[in-house]
Amino acid sequence: MLDKLKKMIDEKFAQAPSPEAVKKAIAEGQIWKSIFRHGYPDTPRNRVMAVLSNLFLHLHPVKARHSGVKMSYTWCMGGLSFFLFLNLTVTGILLMFYYRPTAEYAYYDIVALREHVPLGIMREIHRWGAHAMVIAVWLHMFRVFMTGSYKPPREFNWVIGVVLLVITLLLSFTGYLLPWDQLAMWAITVGTNMARATPFMGYEGPGASMIQIGGVHLVHGGSDIHFALLGGHFVSEATLIRFYVLHCVVVPIVAATLMAIHFWRVRKDGGISGPL
């Protein structure tokens, strides 16, 4: 009985097409060709095309040097920063499903994210990830400095990196207000008070009284950069929604754009961890 079954299975297997034939049928079919535009066999050309003809991958080089994966050289801090950024983006979007940026609900929603939501550590992951990203970008900056990777032709990329550092700190600053507790409110009060003393743009800064058109003072308590940042004269509900938009949309878009340039320049300037 069992032998008969075995014989039947063996016969069926003999009739089946070989794995190579199946692969060929798929990889030379219309669907495959429309999606991938190159063949499947493991030829050098196909390896190159797999990277070059992909929108997401073609920012990166097709080949990387051996030294590029040496952890002892780069500490992988740049990559870690980027990974943490992606992490924060994903956890941030998940938090957005529950958090309402109004004075009435903000604090309560943050508490709810811990008490009422399954896996109630999303808010903690986001916050710890933010701390970790700040540490990672500082370590990355130290590493770049220590290995002299700011020297020509990489000076411009260093400058972009510094701007990215400021962007990271701005993300931390704008996000700090969102829990809407005493710590958040006063930290942002103190931080934005510095904006009042900016030259020309802050009404308590030097040069503010010089900016006028025909007697109309353009920079005063209700029209300087401090007012625009807060949406009022002090931290209020208007500030909360402004910082929410800055934190979730504006600064991430700027960060993503600068990161794209930053990664592109690494490649263009001679690749990661290459000799100077």
Partner 1 sequence: MNSSRYRFPFLALAAFLLMTGTSFAEVKPSSTIEISSLIINLGFIALGSLFVYVIVLTITFLFNAYKEAQEHKAHAHVEETEPSALNPELNRRSFLSLLGLAWVAFTAATLGALSGVVRFLFPNVTFEPPLKFAAGAPSSYSLGVDERYKEGHRVWIVRETTGFYALSTICTHLGCTPNWLQAEQKFKCPCHGSGYYITGVNFEGPAPRPLERFQITMTDDGLIQIDESIKFQQELGQWGLPGSYLEYKG
- Can you give the binding site for partner 1, defined by CB under 8 A? 186, 189-190, 193, 213-214, 216, 218, 223, 227-228, 231-234, 236-238
> Cβ of residue 244: shortest distance to partner 1, in angstroms?
15
Q: Which of 165, 176, 83, 164 is nearest to 127 (CA)?
A: 176
> Cβ of residue 250: shortest distance to partner 1, in angstroms?
11
What φ, ψ does residue 217 adopt, rounded to 5°? Answer: -70, 125
Q: How far apart are CA 110 and CA 88, in angstroms?
A: 16
> Cβ of residue 39: shortest distance to partner 1, in angstroms?
46
| Closer residue to partner 1 in complex, CB, 31/213 | 213
| Closer residue to partner 1 in complex, CB, 180/227 | 227
| Closer residue to partner 1 in complex, CB, 17/207 | 207
The separation between CA 24 and the C-alpha centre of its own chain, rounded to angstroms, equals: 39
3-state secondary structure of 102: coil
Task: Provide the token pair at 17.
Answer: 């097409």
> Cβ of residue 174: shortest distance to partner 1, in angstroms?
15
Q: How far apart are CA 22 and CA 29, in angstroms?
A: 11
> Cβ of residue 203: shortest distance to partner 1, in angstroms?
13
Task: Provide the token pair at 118.
Answer: 């399954």
| Closer residue to partner 1 in complex, CB, 37/100 | 100
> Cβ of residue 243: shortest distance to partner 1, in angstroms?
13
Q: How far apart are CA 174 and CA 240, in angstroms?
A: 9
| Closer residue to partner 1 in complex, CB, 2/213 | 213
| Closer residue to partner 1 in complex, CB, 38/226 | 226
- Taking CB atoms within 8 Å and a gap of at least 24, the contacts of 53-60 are 59/260, 59/263, 59/264, 59/267, 60/263, 60/267
Task: Provide the token pair at 160.
Answer: 């972009």
